Chains A and B, each alone.
Chain A
Amino acid sequence: NAGVTQTPKFQVLKTGQSMTLQCAQDMNHNSMYWYRQDPGMGLRLIYYSASEGTTDKGEVPNGYNVSRLNKREFSLRLESAAPSQTSVYFCASNMGGGLVNTGELFFGEGSRLTVL
């Protein structure tokens, strides 16, 4: 049972470099999410995709872009990394939409990003 898989697990970037975090889920979920976790701030939503073909901004979208490549995959891109983007990034998914949505989020193990 792979669940939600994120790559890479660790990455060090220099200011101004770009990179893409990959996320894939094998649970046939409709909705996918990217969160960042910073000490003392809990998890904050960066972007989400309620269903294949749609993406929307969350609380802290500045400096990020996303692509919902297909139903399984949702990537997060940093075009020009900044030290303020040093964080742990989590991808999550759930069924999404309507009465069948229990709301439970399934998380990947996280990607630790350091921007120097």
Chain B
Amino acid sequence: AQSVTQPDIHITVSEGASLELRCNYSYGATPYLFWYVQSPGQGLQLLLKYFSGDTLVQGIKGFEAEFKRSQSSFNLRKPSVHWSDAAEYFCAVGTSGGYQKVTFGTGTKLQVIP
């Protein structure tokens, strides 16, 4: 069975600083990997996804993530954080083909200070 670990429950960064959110996954085959963002009181919105090909993927709102198979990681990055990026971020891993079972991590809450 697949699993996802987000080791950081809460992260605080200054506006304009760079950001990296960590995600490690466990899955026997090539995974489908996702990052979702949840603003307060809202549902989850897809930031980016990786299925195959280039291991550096670009997403919306200036986010990117890099798939590293050797480290079983899919860390999310942003060069310069804006106050509007304050939200909770979820990494997820999905199985391939047929019904897609998607397993979510426990989330990282991002606080942005002026």
Contact = CB atoms under 8 A, between A and B. Distances in A.
A35 B38 CA distance: 14
Contacts of B106: 40-42
A98 B98 contact: yes
Contact of B43 (A40, A96, A104, A109): A109
Contact of A42 (B34, B43, B99, B104): B104
Interface in A48-86: 48, 50, 56
A107 B34 CA distance: 14
Nearest to A44: B104
B40 to A, nearest CB: 11
A107 B43 contact: yes
Interface size class on chain B is 20 to 34
Interface string B74-111: 00000000000000001000100111111011110000
Contact of A110 (B43, B45, B94): B43
Interface residues of A, number: 28
B17 interface: no
Contact of A103 (B45, B100, B104, B107): B100
11 contacts: A4-B43, A31-B99, A40-B106, A43-B44, A50-B98, A50-B99, A101-B97, A102-B51, A103-B32, A105-B36, A107-B45
Interface of A: 4, 31, 35, 40-45, 48, 50, 56, 90, 92, 94, 96-99, 101-105, 107-110
Interface of B: 4, 9, 32, 34, 36, 41-46, 49, 51, 90, 94, 97-102, 104-107
